Amino acid sequence: MSFGRLIESIAQKKNPTVAGLDPKLDFLPEYIKESAFAKFGNTLEGAAQALFEFNVGMIDAIYDIVPAVKPQCAYYELYGWQGMRALAHTINYAKQKGMFVIIDGKRNDIGSTMQAYSCAHLGEISVNCEKITPFGGDALTVNGYLGSDCIEPLISVCNSSDKGIFVLCKTSNPSSGELQDRLIDNVPVYKAMGLMCEKWGDATPKKYGYSSVGAVVGATYPEQLSELRRDLPHTFFLVPGYGAQGGKAEDIALAFDDKGMGAIVNSSRALMCAYKNSGCDERDYAQAARAEALRMRDEINLFIPPMSLS
């Protein structure tokens, strides 16, 4: 239940990280693009085919050591509905390989519309009595600006289908404080949002102490990360901002509890572009990503307590 499956996979692989799959064309090896464009032309179809092939290589290289992937919707929408097809195929492939899939969509809307997003990304729909799973993610990132009725339809799906959500609290970007750090009744907005996550999580079962309602808290703000870990004891964290955005492993450690649990750390560009950063042949991009995934795992494990599910 809740984030139990994810937590168990993190413990089994001794790896609290998630591979971000944000495959913009610039990040892809030339040989993959050339092959796709030769077959499908300089089209969205060609771009989407290149994305999917790249993702398959990434997943094949890391699925036995990394518990989860996080495809960023924007980089699939960027290539139109063909890109969204590549997203659906990527999710399906990652799940076949036993990975936990966090769809990074930061969706938000009024209740009836969130019902649709919930079914689209985490649940299923009925088409003339045929049950179909549109995207089939395990978790979805969402934005809580609209309050509880934006979140409630998600909680139904989490409870009925063993899924989770991550609500934006303190985001990793430079201007996140413009709204999120402002005080309401002496509490910053990011913390007020975090406290709502705790409340929303009360309506879900807990496993290993954590509810189905997680929070996004950026590694680039270690002080807030530490504060939120202390004040939100049942809220599992998705932590972006490590690596390319500047977050360090010692900062990351603040996201974890005293059992070495409670968070999963994302890395996107550092993995996808590992072949560029290491200067290896582009055809070795997947192995370069694996090496970086191992390095990241080991570096983070240096700073957190030994993992224990007990």
Q: Are 76 and 87 in contact (CB under 8 A)?
A: yes
User: Pick the catalytic residue: 13, 106, 259, 276?
Assistant: 106
Interacting positions 218-257 with its own copies (CB under 8 A): 240, 245
Q: In this complex, which beta carbon is closest to its own copies, that of residue 178 or of residue 281?
A: 178
Token pair, residue 65, equals 């050591």
- Nearer Cβ to its own copies, position 182 or 230? 182
The answer to the question of residue 283 lying near its own copies (CB under 8 A) is no
- Contacting its own copies (CB under 8 A), which of 2, 15, 108, 212? 108
Residues in contact with its own copies, counted by CB under 8 A, come to a total of 74
DSSP notation for 194-240: HHHHHHHHTTS--BTTB-SEEEEE-TT-HHHHHHHHHH-TT--EEE-
Q: Is 276 one of the annotated active-site residues of the chain? A: no
Which of 25, 56, 291, 309 is the binder for its own copies (CB under 8 A)?
25
CA atoms of 47 and 76, how far apart (whole Å): 10
Site for its own copies in 155-174 (CB under 8 A): 168, 171-174
Binding to its own copies in span 119-158, by CB under 8 A: 119-121, 125, 127-130, 132, 134-135, 143-150
By CB under 8 A, residue 178 contacts its own copies: yes
Question: Which secondary-structure segment (H or E) carries 100?
Answer: strand 100-107
3-state secondary structure of 33: helix
Task: Give the angle subtended at the CA of 219 by the CAs of 229 and 27, to the nearest 5°.
Answer: 145
Q: Which of 13, 161, 177, 195 binds its own copies (CB under 8 A)?
A: 177
Which residues does the annotation mark as catalytic? Answer: 106
